[in-house]
Amino acid sequence: MTNSTLKQDWKAEDMSDAAVKALIGKVIIKNGDTTTPDPEKYEMALITKHPETGKVKYERVPVKKVEKIITDARAKEDAEQADKK
């Protein structure tokens, strides 16, 4: 399911950092081995390349932000499931 989720939702060049984080949250929720993922068990980082200078930036996502990403993804998934009923 991870592969199909990524293929459907990944937009390569056109995704903002926020959209990438939302997609990661969606993948964690849909494919995790638990219904309540623990943010402490996930390490997340963004690697970006500046379009003009070509400089690569590595940024670790703090646990509190990982927790928010997972919480937001869970809320969105729950809302989508409610809409289907």
Mean pLDDT of 59-74: 94
The percent of residues above 70 in pLDDT, for the chain, comes to 96
Per the structure, the count of domains in the chain is: 1
- Which DSSP state fits 58? E
Element (H, E) at 59: strand 56-61
| Domain coverage including residue 49 | 2-84
pTM metric for this prediction: 0.79
pLDDT in tens, 20-51: 899 889 888 888 777 788 899 999 999 988 88
- Which pLDDT score, from 0 to 100, does residue 10 have? 81
